C-alpha cells in the first residue's frame, strides 16, 4: 500500500482539525436541535460539536462555552467519529436507583400495611420497608432516603386514620358504641 493511500484512509477516518467532522445531515440535525428547548448541558454538547466542525480548537471552544476540557474533548471526539446524533442519549447526572415500579410498589405497601405481607408488626418503619423492597427489587436504599421518597410522594408511615373500635351489634340493631355513657 502506498503512502498516499494510507494518508487518504487516515484523512477520511480522522479529518484534520481544519476539515469538517459532520455530514450535512448531522450538521442540520444539530442546528435544528439547537433551536429547541434543552438543558444547558445538552445545548453545550451540540455547540461543542458544531464549533469543532467549523474548525475551532479545543481551547477556544472551552473558553467560548466555559466548559471543561474533558467535556470538549469527549464531544469533539463524538463528532469526529460520526456519533454526533447521540448527543441526547448519554444522560446527565447520576442514574436513578429508584424507578417508577419501585415507587408504585412503595405506595402499595404503605396502603396495605405489613400484616398483609406476613409480618407480625402493625406499622411499617423506614427500615422494615427498606429491607422488604430490597428483597423484591434488589435495590438497597437507606431508611432515611426511603423516608425522603415517602415525603416526596406525600405519604407517611404514621397512621393517618383512627381505626374505630369494633362494634358489637345486638339483635335489635343497636350498636353498643352508639350509647352514651353518663
Per-residue confidence (pLDDT) for residue 181, from 0 to 100: 61
Reading phi first (left if > 0) and then psi (alpha if -120 to 50, else beta), residue 127 is in alpha
Tell me the pLDDT of the chain (182 aa) as tens digits.
Answer: 444 444 444 333 444 444 478 888 888 889 898 888 888 888 999 999 999 999 899 999 999 999 999 999 999 999 988 888 888 777 676 666 788 888 999 999 998 889 988 999 889 999 999 999 999 888 888 999 999 989 988 988 876 443 444 555 555 555 555 556 65
Is 25 exposed, middle or buried, given 0-12, 13-18 or 19+ CB atoms closer than 10 A?
exposed
Per-residue confidence (pLDDT) for residue 12, from 0 to 100: 39
How far does the chain reach from its first CA to its final CA, in angstroms? 110
Per-residue confidence (pLDDT) for residue 75, from 0 to 100: 92
Per-residue confidence (pLDDT) for residue 177, from 0 to 100: 58
Per-residue confidence (pLDDT) for residue 97, from 0 to 100: 78
Q: What is the spatial distance between Cα 87 and Cα 124, in angstroms, rounded to a whole number?
A: 43
Q: List, for residues 129-167, the tens digit of each pLDDT value.
A: 999 999 988 888 899 999 998 998 898 887 644 344 455
**CA pseudo-torsion sign 106, 110, 114, 116:** negative
DSSP 64: H
Residue ranges of the domains in the chain?
Answer: 3-86, 100-152
Per-residue confidence (pLDDT) for residue 5, from 0 to 100: 42
Enter the pTM of the model: 0.46
Q: Which residues pair with 175 in a beta bridge?
A: 169
Per-residue confidence (pLDDT) for residue 172, from 0 to 100: 58
Amino acid at each position: 500500500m502506498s503512502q498516499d493511500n494510507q494518508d487518504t484512509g487516515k484523512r477520511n477516518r480522522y479529518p484534520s482539525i481544519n476539515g469538517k467532522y459532520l455530514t450535512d445531515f448531522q450538521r442540520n440535525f444539530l442546528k435544528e436541535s439547537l433551536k429547541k428547548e434543552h438543558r444547558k448541558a445538552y445545548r453545550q454538547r451540540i455547540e461543542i460539536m458544531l464549533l469543532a466542525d467549523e474548525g475551532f480548537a479545543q481551547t477556544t471552544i472551552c473558553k467560548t462555552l466555559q466548559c471543561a476540557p474533558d467535556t470538549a474533548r469527549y464531544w469533539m471526539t463524538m463528532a469526529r467519529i460520526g456519533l454526533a446524533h447521540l448527543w441526547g442519549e448519554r444522560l446527565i447526572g447520576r442514574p436513578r436507583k429508584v424507578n417508577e415500579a419501585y415507587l408504585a410498589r412503595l405506595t402499595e405497601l404503605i396502603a396495605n400495611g405489613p400484616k398483609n405481607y406476613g409480618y407480625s408488626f402493625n406499622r411499617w418503619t423506614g427500615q422494615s420497608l427498606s429491607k422488604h423492597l430490597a428483597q423484591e427489587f434488589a435495590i438497597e436504599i437507606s431508611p432515611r432516603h426511603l423516608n425522603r421518597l415517602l415525603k416526596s410522594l406525600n405519604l407517611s408511615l404514621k397512621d393517618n386514620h383512627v381505626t374505630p373500635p369494633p362494634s358489637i351489634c345486638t339483635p335489635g340493631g343497636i350498636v353498643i358504641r352508639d350509647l352514651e355513657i353518663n
